[in-house]
A and B are shown apart, each in its own frame.
Chain A
């Protein structure tokens, strides 16, 4: 698989994992184990958009 496409697929998968689906009883973890999941999610979204642009060129 093309390297850009592979990176994009991984980013898209992680974006869906972190930012989609049902939040149960307010249990979405905002920060745990020194890693802020919201921050991680935001970075993935930004990287994802950049990768979409690159692979579309």
Chain B
């Protein structure tokens, strides 16, 4: 396989994650060195649309295989690079922080518990706003207005440990937590207990996931 490199070989890769060691990636995905870290990538043709369902599923499968190997920082889908120098330049401001996170959480994964709110908050209508900024503020407020049963919140934290509650949209809340790799099954068992205790609350416990929420400084 033609490899991405320092030269201009122009093999375009969808970047999947940032890893501490080269061995965490090979031979599952393409290795793209970036400073003293390594990015994983999936080669794609230049004319390959990134929204293609088959490609999304392939990337998701590679991502899962990489996580089985070692914990990594998830890069939001849509970032592509064609040369090592490009990867290094674009990631330069993140590398030091990523290294610290990867060293600290080498044995952790993320798990999420998504709860569907009992009532969907009405989405603001763009036509009701003359200013785009005001519309975005209203959208943000509507998302933050979503809430779930406080008793369920407490029980969810008991099952998963303290994490971050995130407002995702106008209909759901999500608890994301860092879980030790050897505690994933215990958390799943906690999820089953939660289901029995709150049979009328629709929720989904999922994971393990790579470092997504806890690597994204927008959520700090």
4 more CB-based (< 8 A) A-B contacts, given A18-B77, A21-B215: A20-B74, A21-B212, A33-B49, A35-B50
B204 near A28 (CB under 8 angstroms)?
no
Interface residues of A in 5-48 (CB under 8 A from B): 8-10, 12-14, 16-25, 27-30, 32-37, 40, 45, 48
Q: Does B203 contact A (CB under 8 A)?
A: yes
> Could you jot down 16 A-B contacts, CB within 8 Å?
A9-B206, A12-B204, A12-B206, A16-B112, A16-B206, A19-B76, A20-B74, A20-B209, A22-B76, A24-B15, A32-B49, A33-B52, A49-B116, A52-B202, A53-B116, A57-B202
Interface flags for B37-78 (1: CB within 8 Å of A; 0: not) read 000000000001111100011011001100000000111111
Instruction: Report the contact-size class of chain B (Cβ under 8 Å from the partner).
Output: 35 or more
Which A residues have a C-beta under 8 Å from some C-beta of B?
A: 8-10, 12-14, 16-25, 27-30, 32-37, 40, 45, 48-49, 52-53, 55-57
CB within 8 A of B75: which of A19, A21, A37?
A21
- Spot the interface stretch: B129-137, B167-175, B182-190: B167-175
A22 with B216, Cβ < 8 A, contacts A14-B60, A52-B116 known: yes
From DSSP, what is the main secondary structure of chain B's interface residues?
mixed
Q: Does B2 contact A (CB under 8 A)?
A: no
B94 near A17 (CB under 8 angstroms)?
no
- Distance of A16 Cα from B114 Cα, bound (Å): 12
Given the complex, which residues of A lie within 8 Å of B216, measured CB to CB?
20-23
A32 near B51 (CB under 8 angstroms)?
yes
Q: Does B90 contact A (CB under 8 A)?
A: yes
Q: Does B79 contact A (CB under 8 A)?
A: yes
A24 with B76, Cβ < 8 A, contacts A17-B59, A45-B168, A56-B203 known: yes
Q: Does B121 contact A (CB under 8 A)?
A: no
- Distance of A33 Cα from B56 Cα, bound (Å): 14
